Amino acid sequence: MGGASGISSMTGFARASGSDGAAGWSWEVKSVNGRALDVRCRLPQGLERLDPAVRGAVSARLRRGNVTVGLRLSQAPDAAAMRVNRAWLDDLIALAAEYRGRDDIAPPHLDGLLALRGVIETAESADDAEAARDDGAMLATLDVALEELVRERQAEGTALAAALTDRIEEITVLTRQAEALAPTRQEALGTRLREQVAALTCAGAPVPEDRLASELALLAVKIDVTEEIDRLKSHCAAATRHLREGGAVGRKLDFLAQEFNREANTLCSKASHAALTEVGLALKAAIDQFREQAQNVE
């Protein structure tokens, strides 16, 4: 799990192998994005007893992600046992007996029969290998794989933090642009409304000044984006703070991405101004990139 110095991604892969002389094993751990921590164990038949320990080891290090843990067993070359395929040897001896006494065929000897393919086999001694295999040693190897996975996720998290910081800076700049455009937009809309009223007045439909003032005030309230801009600034500050704190902040960043998008949508709906609409659309694009990157954070 990422410490206070940074964040971790949820994707990574690690492998570690071990041996006790009589048997060998290999752990593979793969992690991809997930809303919570979901551990799937793929253990050989007969080693299902390791499942609780594997899940405990993963949950002690990771907070989020779909994690698949697989274990493969192998037998060391020097642990191979030799055995005689007696059924096959008996068949060969019986066959040799049928040809005994023929002058054109030399009588077979036992050492010759034993040299034939398939008479002497390399057999895995499952009982010996199982007895030699130590759960503690295998779980220690799993720890090595998990530590490597954590390092890989943290390395990718460092790159993610830089990308997220860039997106926050972009959102901050666009928010300032929207803030600068807001007053000029209100003036332009007020001028347009007065021109429309003047046109109506010339057409013989006079509008009282108090009614005009009331309409202008109502319009100002409807198009005011001060709250949206203030919230966007606040969300930028919160996102920056979470990145500095580090740790498992993925859910917090997910939530902020939703709030960012909510404010950007409201700003666009209130824009009524080409320049502000353009800024709002740029905000939505930057926020969407922020959301995609935040979904990779543990």
pLDDT digits (tens, 9 = 90+) for 156-195: 999 999 999 999 999 999 999 999 987 776 666 666 666 6
pLDDT band of 125, cuts 50, 70, 90: very low
Q: What is the pLDDT of residue 216?
A: 56
pLDDT digits (tens, 9 = 90+) for 92-114: 788 877 777 676 677 777 777 77
| Distance set, CA 180 to CA 78, 184, 186, 279, 285 (Å) | 77, 8, 11, 11, 20
Q: What is the pLDDT of residue 218?
A: 58
pLDDT digits (tens, 9 = 90+) for 217-270: 555 556 678 899 999 999 999 999 999 998 889 999 999 999 999 999 999 888
Of the candidates 81, 100, 64, 96, the residue with the CA atom closest to the CA atom of residue 23: 81
Domain residue spans in the chain?
Answer: 12-78+135-153, 81-123, 157-294
Reading the block at residue 138, the tokens are 């295998």
What average pLDDT does the segment 38-50 reach?
94
Fold held by 157-294 = Butyryl-CoA Dehydrogenase, subunit A; domain 3 (1.20.140)
Q: What is the pLDDT of residue 183?
A: 75
Which has more confidence, 116 or 219? 116
Percent of residues, the chain, with pLDDT higher than 70: 76
12-78+135-153 under CATH 2.60.120, yes or no = no
Angle between helices 135-202 and 250-270 (to 10 degrees): 10
Q: What is the pLDDT of residue 236?
A: 97
Render 216-242 in DSSP notation, one character per residue.
Answer: HHHHHHHH--HHHHHHHHHHHHHHHHH
What average pLDDT does the segment 283-287 reach?
97
Among 79-83, 225-229, 243-247, 282-286, the range of highest mean pLDDT = 282-286
Which has more confidence, 293 or 206? 293
- Global pTM reads 0.67
Q: What is the pLDDT of residue 97?
A: 79
Q: What is the pLDDT of residue 46?
A: 86
| Distance set, CA 262 to CA 144, 249, 267, 268 (Å) | 43, 20, 9, 10
Mean pLDDT for the chain overall:
83
Q: What is the pLDDT of residue 129?
A: 46
- 77 pLDDT higher than 60: no
SS3 category, 146 = helix
Bridge partners (DSSP) of residue 71 are 27
